Every structure is written in C-alpha cells, then in structure tokens.
Amino acid sequence: MARISPTVALLAGAIVLGASSSAQAEATGPMLANTCAGCHGTNGQSVGPASPIIAGINRDVFVDMMKGYQSGDIYSTIMGRIAKGYTDDEIEAMADFFNAKPFQPAAQEYEVALVDSGARLHDQFCENCHAEGGTPLRDEDTGEDEEDFYLLAGQWTPYLAYTMSDFREDRRQMPRKMREKLDELLAGDGEDGLAAIFAFYASQQ
C-alpha cells in the first residue's frame, strides 16, 4: 500500500481547512436565512401562527432579540439554542436580509365586532410606543426605518398571545411603561380589552 508523506498530508489538511474557512466567511444573509425558513417561512413570511412573521422586522430589534435569546434574557423554548449557533456578524447579516423583505400581513380570522374597540384601546394604551397601529415605520424617500418598531399590525394573533403570556407570567421582562399601561387596560377592560387589541392588529390585512 502506498504511503502518504507527512508533508502531503499536512498540505491536504490545510487545503480542506482553508476551503472550510472560506465557505464559512462567505456565508451571506440569504444563505443564513434559509435555516430560518422551517419555522418563519420563506423570506421570513411565516405561515404557521405560532411563529412570527419576521419579514420587514426592524434590524435593531432583530439583533437585540437574537442577543437576548443567546444570553437567556429572553425566554424561549427553541430560539435560545438556535441563536447560540450564530456569530455577531451572521446575526447582523440576517438582520439586514429580513429587514429588506416586504412585510405581508397574516391572512387570519378575527372578531370583526371587536376591531373598533381594539383600535380605540390601542390608541389609548399602545400608540405611544407602537405608532400607527404597530406597523413598520419607514422613511418614504430613503426606505430606511425611522425608529425601532415591533411588528404588531398584521402579525399572527397566536404568536402575540403567547408573547403576552410570557410577559404576564414573568418569563420575559416587561418594560415598566408597558406594565403600567397593561395594568390600566386590564383594570378597565379586562381580558376582553386585550382580545380587542389583538383583533385590531389581526384586521390590518
């Protein structure tokens, strides 16, 4: 049997490692985003109500949430393990990719009778932080995000309900102002008020 010299073996190993490093360095936003499609749909357009639509997501919000999943500051059942597999540069690349994709509201059913009261309650309790009904805020001339925003209007209702449950059960830290507004809402309108706000968001199709 022919023997392979140590020099040849080392050179071969270096070539393989170099190719691997090159492939890893060339990972792009679209390539990385493909791994998200199983839960969040093609280009971030989720078709499963338990997984949020992330197409059009604000890039800073995306980065902050991924970092929160990595550190465990944001409660999750799956995302914590997934997020730990990405570098900072890869997270930034995915943030740019998803931010550039158009947001398509979820086609879902909702209680039509609750929409008007939900719009009123949103204006009263949520509008200051989630402007224009929780829609993406973009500069018309540049297309750039005007400020950080969360995708609420047109988002899947089950996902919003699960997330709200995480906040209320202290599995996820609730900002002080949000807690104050939520307490006011529940004191005055109860669970029906929260359901009405969800209906309002779902109606934004």
Residue 178 marked ligand-binding: yes
Q: 124-132: long-range contacts at Cβ-Cβ below 8 A with a sequence spacing of 24 or more? A: 125/181, 125/182, 125/184, 125/185, 125/197, 126/152, 126/181, 126/197, 129/177, 129/178
Instruction: Give CA–CA dist 58/99, Å, rounded.
Output: 6
Does 79 belong to an annotated binding site?
yes
Is 156:103 a contact under the CB 8 Å cutoff?
no
Nearest CA to 156 out of 63, 57, 72, 49 is that of 49
- Quick check: helix, strand or coil at residue 138? strand
Q: How far is CA 118 from CA 125, 167, 191, 196, in A?
A: 10, 20, 12, 4
Please count the residues of the chain: 205
> Binding site annotation covers 36?
yes
94 is in an annotated binding site: no
Give the C-alpha separation, 105 to 198, whole Å. 13
Q: Which DSSP symbol is given to 57?
A: -
Residues annotated within the binding site are 36, 39-40, 79, 126, 129-130, 178
**Binding site for heme c: which residues?**
36, 39-40, 79, 126, 129-130, 178
